[in-house]
Chain A
Amino acid sequence: MADLRADMTGRLADLMVGFGANVQPGQIVIVNASLECRELVRAVADRCYRAGALHVEAEYSDPYLKRARIEFGGDDAVGYAPSWAVDRAREIGEHHCASITLVGGADPSVLEGLDQQRLGRDNPPTRKEWLRSVMQQLVNWSIGPGPTPTWAALTHPDLGPQAALDALWTEIGHVCRLDEPDPVAAWTERMAALSATAGRLTERRFELLHFEGPGTDLRVGLLPRAMFVAGGVVTKAGIPHRPNLPSEEVFTTPDPTCTEGHVRSTKPLDVGGTVVRGLEVRFEGGRAVAIDADSGVEVLRGRAASDEGACRLGEVALVDGDSRIGRLSTVFYETLLDENAASHIALGNGLDFAAGEDAERANRSDIHIDFMIGSNEVDVTGLTADGTRVPVLRGGEWQV
């Protein structure tokens, strides 16, 4: 099965470089990944240089360094980043770099037993600069999956290490459409279908989306001139790219001041290595006024308190049952995949391009944390200005 992995590694690297980030000749490419992802990182670097990249900067992240900081660092070490790291994050935007980030479920035991408050505060300022580059559409970027033994053990705890890794690669291959003869053609077709749905949703000019299901009765107010968006986006310089692979969602930027009601998460959520389960949030006037969970709630509360916009919504996204991820019923413990299994909302920064001409009203925050609230049991209904209720999703199927 080593051949399966080698083959998938090459195909995934091709997809991320050629279709996801769409790396251009002469570009600098930033590659972020965990240490375990090194084979895929090297394959990505190989494709970037073959595509004419000027430089590939591979940045490996190591959760044990975070652990050392939280465990032994002084109070001013938490959440700190050196000036050059902040400058770099800004310059990546100014230089119109490409960016490829490979993600996967992290070993929760690495951060076990640490002070939850310190963990919640450990949110370095580099993130803000990065979000700004993304919001201003300066960077052609893509986040994709990077299968690792650690991630495989999380998703397939009943299998042995080799079998678990093979199972994960097989699933990743499927949800990334790498098992298709022409993955790019398959993605182009799926994204065209989602874009058509997004267009129809935009045309209806709903005032709000109403989510109803077990533990959930939530009304998310929309911005009048916002758009529903799917699949690919284009940088200011005109480079088309796909921010998430896989991507099965249709999303928009909501009004940060008028979300009302309560919502229960339908999947576990990973926040910087801490798994939040059984999340329940109550909103009043757009603000999350009560946040509870069965586990990991302190980390989420810490993040949601990090600035004024952190407890308001920056995104609402709809996912139908045709999603290859939703149909697998595997919990990946990784937002990139899990958010594409189900409809979701995000606390924190809103996306300007989805807010359209209402961009100045979009939520502002240094965080952006998605959590899943959809399932086949959750009905989604659109409400128009005259109070008409229009079914949007029923039993996971589009009604528009």
Chain B
Amino acid sequence: MGDQRIDRLAELAVSFGANVQPGQTLVVNAELGREDVARAVAAAAYRAGARHVEVSYLDALVRRTLIEHGIDDALGYAPPWQVDRVKQMGEQRVAVITLDGALDPAATDGLDAARLGADQSPVRHEYLELVTGQLINWCIIACPTIDWARKVHPDLSPEAALELLWTQVEWMCRLDEADPVSVWNQRMDTLNAVAGRINQRRFSAIGFRGPGTDLTVGLLPTSNWMAAAFTTATGLRHHPNLPSEEIFTSPDPNRTEGIVRSTKPLDIDGTMVNGLRVRFEGGRAVEIDADSGVDLLRARIAHDEGGARLGEVALVDGEGRVGATNTVFCTTLIDENAASHIALGNAYPFTIGDDEDRARTNASSIHIDFMIGSDEVDVDGIGADGERVPLLRAGAWQI
């Protein structure tokens, strides 16, 4: 209580992140352990004039009991009112803030991977609809906890680990700056300028080449690159990921070819997938291997037809603050901003310029990012004639 860094993080999420408006309802999603920040977010939102703040506290250990002992019908089930709730959230144009970080490993350790993979709530699909329809102003923000800190910094005492994680999160979120919002606006301007230059070239595909990786990701004719500065259908500016260092777009789901090796571990609901290797043919992931956690990933991907195709490709340069920490944070929110990445599953139709192309983007109820970039991975833009134009070399923009 009364912790200044908690108040500053909450303030950033409410103002710059979700940009909560007077009269709006704000929904906050928080795993247990993030009560202090959730309360500070509620206070900041009410001060900003919010009509109502609803905090959903999620308990991963309750979910664990479901995976352990639930009847088969219970896996992937949600009561109808949970689905209706998310629909109404879209109709009423609410704001959403999710407090993110790695889960307590105790929540998933030793669980049956097939059952975990089968437990895909239909609520997730409804949330994706809100995002792709640009109905809500939303923000996912990093929120340190002791469990997360111990996972990231296992060699330190829990207290020291939490202290270091907080310092890193404050730094990555620019909360160390006197005016975090103006520093963020500058960074977003830079990324948008790069995105604009890439858009002008209208590349046919993006090529990734590095150790274990030779991948070509085909783009749609009107795939537009953008930074994570969004505008809702009704014109509300918001920043959906804090921190964010990426520019991204939605690719052609039928034109990814080659092999790729992940450059960072991937966290899926608390299960770590290490050493992931994927081979694509005609846009489909036809082979998936990993040193650990592969069963859960395979189960997720098999969830629907679009689960094995790409919905996103994103580029990250070395000037971002995430990569500079040289730390694996075990959460996609942050780790995807350390390196260029691709995502299996649902696309972001608002990155596409015309209706015809938009209809071709990938559709799925999953969206799983994994990191494929590093200083050793060269990224090129590939023209319709096959000419390769350097985009990233050793982490520096070439365009």
B70 with A62: CB separation less than 8 A: no
Could you tell me if A46 and B51 are in contact, using CB atoms closer than 8 angstroms? no
Determine the distance from Cα of A384 to Cα of B39 in the docked complex, in whole angstroms. Answer: 56
For window 39-88 of A, CB contacts with B under 8 Å fall at: 41-42, 45-46, 48-50, 52-58, 60, 62, 64-65, 68-69, 71-74, 76-77, 80-85, 87-88
| B92→A83 contact, CB < 8 A | yes
Restricting to B53-72, which residues have a CB under 8 Å from any CB of A? 53-55, 57, 59, 61-62, 64-66, 68-71
- Asked if A74 contacts B61 (CB within 8 A), the reply is no
Main secondary structure of the interface of B (DSSP, over half): helix
**Contact among A49, A54, A68 for B69, CB-based, below 8 A:** A49
Please state if A84 and B84 are interface contacts (CB–CB under 8 Å).
yes
Nearest-CB residue, chain A, relative to B36: A64
- Chain A 24-37, CB-CB to B under 8 Å as 1, else 0, gives 01101000000100
B39 contacts A62, CB within 8 Å? Answer: yes
Check if A77 sits within 8 Å of B50, measured CB to CB.
Answer: yes
Chain B interface residue number, banded: 35 or more
Q: Does B266 belong to the interface (CB within 8 Å)?
A: no
- A residues in contact with B64, CB < 8 Å: 42
**CB distance B46 to A38 under 8 Å?**
no
Q: Are B25 and A82 in contact (CB under 8 A)?
A: yes
Chain A min CB distance to B209 (Å): 47
User: Is A357 at the interface (CB under 8 A from chain B)?
Assistant: no
- B108 → chain A closest CB, angstroms: 14
Query: Within residues 38 to 55 of chain B, which ones have a CB less than 8 A from any CB in chain A?
Result: 38-39, 42-43, 46-47, 49-55
Contact of B51 among A38, A42, A71, A76 (CB under 8 A): A76
Please judge, given known A-B contacts A69-B53, A82-B52, whether A55 and B62 are in contact too, CB under 8 Å.
no
Contact A49 B53 (CB under 8 A): no
Chain B residues positioned under 8 Å from A54 (CB to CB): 71, 73-74, 77
Given that A49-B74, A82-B52, A95-B79 are contacting pairs, would A41 and B85 also be in contact in the complex, using a CB cutoff of 8 Å?
no
Task: Answer whether residue A112 sits at the interface, using C-beta atoms and an 8 A cutoff.
Answer: no
Structural contact, A82 and B88, CB atoms closer than 8 A:
yes
Cβ of B27 to closest chain A Cβ, rounded Å: 9
A91 interface residue, CB < 8 Å from B? yes
User: What are the residues of chain A within 8 A of B47 when measuring CB–CB?
Assistant: 72
Set of chain A residues within 8 Å of B84, measured between Cβ atoms:
84, 87-88
Give the CA-CA distance A55 to B73 in the complex, in Å: 9
User: B53 to nearest A CB, angstroms?
Assistant: 7
In the complex, chain A residues whose CB is within 8 Å of the CB of B78: 55
Residue of A nearest to B43 (CB): A68
With the chains together, A87 CA to B79 CA distance in Å?
Answer: 12
CB neighbors of B among A134-158 (8 A):
none
Inter-chain CA distance A91–B79, complex, in Å, is: 9
Alpha-carbon separation in the docked complex, A50 to B94 (Å): 37
Whether A49 touches B70, Cβ cut-off 8 Å, given contacts A42-B61, A68-B39, A83-B88, is yes
Taking CB atoms, residues of chain A closer than 8 Å to B38 are: 62, 65
Contact pick for A77, options B39, B46, B61, CB 8 Å: B46
Contacting residues, chain B, for A82 (C-beta < 8 A)? 25, 52, 54, 88, 92, 94
Are B57's CB and A62's CB within 8 A? yes
CB distance from B167 to the nearest CB of A (A): 26
Find out whether the CB atom of B79 lies under 8 angstroms from the CB atom of A65.
Answer: no
Contacts of B110 in A (CB 8 A): none
A contact residues around B53 at 8 Å (CB): 65, 68-69
**B114 contacts the other chain (Cβ, under 8 Å)?**
no
Asked if B66 contacts A84 (CB within 8 A), the reply is no
Q: Is the CB of A65 within 8 A of B39?
A: yes
- Contact between A84 and B81, CB atoms less than 8 A apart: yes
Closest-by-CB residue of B relative to A50 is B69
Give the Cβ gap from B388 to chain A, nearest Cβ, in Å. Answer: 51
Please give, as numbers and ranges, the residues of chain A lying within 8 Å of B73 by CB-CB distance. 26, 54
Residues of B within 8 A of A49 (CB): 65-66, 68-71, 74
Q: List 7 A-B contacts (CB under 8 A).
A: A42-B62, A45-B66, A49-B68, A62-B39, A69-B53, A71-B46, A74-B51
B-to-A contact residues, CB < 8 Å: 25, 32, 35, 38-39, 42-43, 46-47, 49-55, 57, 59, 61-62, 64-66, 68-71, 73-74, 77-82, 84-85, 88-89, 92, 94
Leading 6 A-B pairs by shortest Cβ distance:
A72-B46, A84-B85, A49-B69, A60-B57, A88-B81, A68-B42
15 new A-B contacts at CB < 8 Å, known A26-B73, A91-B80: A25-B71, A38-B61, A45-B65, A49-B70, A52-B71, A55-B77, A60-B59, A62-B35, A68-B43, A69-B46, A82-B88, A82-B92, A82-B94, A87-B81, A92-B81
